[in-house]
Amino acid sequence: MQVTFLGTSSGVPTRARNVSAVALRLPQRSEMWLFDCGEGTQHQFLRSDLRLSQLRRVFITHMHGDHVFGLPGLLASLGLAGNSNEGIDLYGPDPLESFLKGALANSSTRIGYPLEVHRVRPAAEQGSVVFEDADLIVRCTPLTHRVPAYAYRVEQKPLAGRFDIDQARALEIPPGPVYAQLKRGETVTLSDGRTIDGTTLCGPERPGVSVVYCTDTVFSEAAVELARGADLLIHESTFAHAESEMAFQKQHSTSTMAAQTAAEAGVGQLVLTHLSPRYVPGNSVTPNDLLQEAQAIFPNTVLAKDFLSLEVKPRCNSS
């Protein structure tokens, strides 16, 4: 998977950082998912290497404007460009559907493609699955914020073990479409009557990758559980540790809360995002100070910036 940050500021945009949006390019398919869609997100797409035409699903954490104000315009532009024949599935809090219907209706905007909104509250409360297909599974959990908010976990299902082509040749299995069947672990019957179990020619299953997106919230045990063992945790870091009292009042996280979540969950890497505009180079506290605070607790921490792209790989990948 490839993660690209399109907006990393909290509340309002700055010259260097737009408001919240993170794109996830999926492995082995021309499909992209978007997490949050603050104002100006479609402009950020234009400034990136991402193709908006590949967007298939949008996951909204909560209904604050810096996470949703860009969504009606982005959906309208997709319709005008005719780039979404398959349609878009939206996932988010209960008010998401009425927000979109109102914005689109009152602007006389017609969406000429399938658009479906899914409420994630039941799945979050029941611990059930938000979305699942043959390759991926998405779960969510409630966070602790001033309005209903949710964190999401995207997990790739285990991959088939590596196919032993040398063993297949030693068994004189003729190359061709049968190799693809065997790679999938299927049992095939050859033209000479032999039956070959594909699992005997494949190594052990390889782990898929997992990404957790967690914003906005004060420190949350539910977030720790959702992030347990993830390869990458993207976590808000609105405030520096010295402003913990303000963080609790506004129900946001400090750099140290984000790092504590990563450490308790045992994740592979932490990325800090959703930084307050008060932290800019030249001020008494800068984003690098927040990064150092987090690294003191969880060393494998990086600081997000707009257009940063990361390739997410399983920590135990033996390749």
Sheet of strand 2-7, all strands in order from the earlier edge strand to the far edge: 115-119, 88-92, 55-59, 32-35, 21-25, 2-7, 309-311
Distance, in Å, from the CA atom of 230 to the CA atom of 273, rounded to the nearest integer, reads 17
How much of the chain is in helix, strand and coil states, percent to nearest 5? 30, 25, 45
Task: List the Cα angle 127/210/11 in 5-degree steps.
Answer: 80
Q: Which two tokens stand for residue 63?
A: 């209904």
CA–CA separation, 3 and 29 (whole Å): 15
Choose, from 66, 216, 231, 306, the residue flagged as catalytic: 66
265: Cβ–Cβ under 8 A, 6 or more apart, which residues? 223, 224, 225, 227, 228, 229, 230, 233
Rounded Cα gap, residues 247 and 153, in angstroms: 24
**DSSP H helical ranges for the chain:** 41-46, 65-68, 71-81, 96-106, 121-126, 165-170, 177-183, 221-227, 244-250, 255-265, 287-297
Taking a C-beta distance cutoff of 8 angstroms, is the pair 50, 4 a contact? yes
Q: 169, exposed or middle or buried, with CB in 10 Å at 0-12, 13-18, 19+?
A: exposed
CA distance 210 to 227: 9
Mark whether 289 is an active-site residue: no
Q: Which residues contact 241 (CB under 8 A, 6 or more apart)?
A: 254, 255, 256, 293
Catalytic residues: 66
